[in-house]
Structure 1
Amino acid sequence: MAWLVTGGAGYIGSHIVRAFLAEGIDVVVIDDLSSGHAEFVPESVPFVHGDLLDGPLLARTFAEYPITGVVHVAGFKYAGVSVQRPLHTYEQNVTAMATLLAAMQDAGVSRMVFSSSAAVYGTPTTSLVTEETPKNPESPYGETKLIGEWLLRDQAVAAGLGYTALRYFNVVGSGARELRDTSPHNLFPIIFDALLDGRTPRINGNDYATPDGTCVRDYIHVADLAVSHVAAARLLDAGTAIEPVYNLGSGDGVSVGEIMATVARVTGIDFTPDIGPRRAGDPDRIVTSGALAARDLDWKMRHSLEEMVRSAWESRQAASVS
Structure 2
Amino acid sequence: MRVLVTGGAGYIGAHTVRLLVDRGDEVVVLDNLGSGQADRIRDVPFVRMDLAAAPVSEIEAVLRDNAIDAVIHFAAHKQVGESVAKPALYYADNVGAVAKLLMAMENAGVDKLVFSSSAAVYGNASGAISEAALAQPISPYGATKLVGEQIITAAAEAWPLRAASLRYFNVAGAGSAELADTVAFNLIPICLDRIADNQPPVIFGDDYDTADGTCVRDYVHVVDVAEAHLAVLDALPHDPGNIILNVGTGIGTSVREIVDALIEVSGTRLLADVQPRRAGDPAAIVGDINAITAFTGWTARFGVEDIVNSAWDARQSQSASASASAPW
TM-score (norm 2): 0.94
Deviation at 1:50, TM superposition (A): 1.1
Asked if 1:166 is matched to 2:163, the reply is no
Asked if 1:204 is matched to 2:236, the reply is no
**Which residue in the other structure is 2:77 paired with?**
76
**Which residue in the other structure is 1:252 paired with?**
251
Change (3 A) 1:5 1:272: same
Q: Deviations over 1:80-116 (max 9, x none)?
A: 2101101110111101110111111111111100000
Change (3 A) 1:71 1:88: same
Q: Which amino acid aligns with 1:27?
A: V
Task: Report runs of 4+ in structure 1 exceeding 4 Å deviation.
Answer: 240-243
Q: How many residues align?
A: 319
Which residues in structure 2 correspond to 1:1-322 (within 5 Å)?
A: 1-43=1-43, 45-53=44-52, 54-55=54-55, 56-124=57-125, 126-236=126-236, 239=238, 244-322=243-321
SS of 1:48 mapped into structure 2: strand
Deviation at 1:240, TM superposition (A): 7.2
SS of 2:310 mapped into structure 1: helix
C-alpha separation in 1, matches of 2:285 and 2:247: 13
Note if contact 1:113-1:165 (Cα within 8 Å) is conserved in structure 2.
yes
Note if contact 1:90-1:144 (Cα within 8 Å) is conserved in structure 2.
yes
Note if contact 1:235-1:242 (Cα within 8 Å) is conserved in structure 2.
no
SS of 2:148 mapped into structure 1: helix
C-alpha separation in 1, matches of 2:246 and 2:275: 31
Change (3 A) 1:242 1:223: farther
Q: Which amino acid aligns with 2:142?
A: G
C-alpha separation in 2, matches of 1:106 and 1:188: 42
Deviation at 1:195, TM superposition (A): 0.7
Note if contact 1:232-1:297 (Cα within 8 Å) is conserved in structure 2.
yes
Q: Which amino acid aligns with 1:38?
A: A
Note if contact 2:19-2:226 (Cα within 8 Å) is conserved in structure 1.
yes
Q: Which amino acid aligns with 2:286?
A: V
C-alpha separation in 2, matches of 1:274 and 1:138: 27
Q: Which amino acid aligns with 2:121?
A: V
Superposition RMSD on alpha carbons, in Å?
Answer: 1.4
Q: Which amino acid aligns with 1:86?
A: P
C-alpha separation in 2, matches of 1:218 and 1:314: 21
Q: Which amino acid aligns with 1:95?
A: G
Deviation at 1:127, TM superposition (A): 0.7
C-alpha separation in 2, matches of 1:314 and 1:50: 32
C-alpha separation in 2, matches of 1:319 and 1:294: 35
C-alpha separation in 1, matches of 2:88 and 2:134: 25
Q: Which amino acid aligns with 1:282?
A: D
**Which residue in the other structure is 2:325 paired with?**
none
Deviation at 1:242, TM superposition (A): 7.8
Q: Which amino acid aligns with 1:79?
A: V
Note if contact 1:117-1:142 (Cα within 8 Å) is conserved in structure 2.
yes
SS of 1:30 mapped into structure 2: strand
Structure 1 gaps of 5+ residues are none
**Which residue in the other structure is 2:324 paired with?**
none
Note if contact 1:27-1:46 (Cα within 8 Å) is conserved in structure 2.
yes
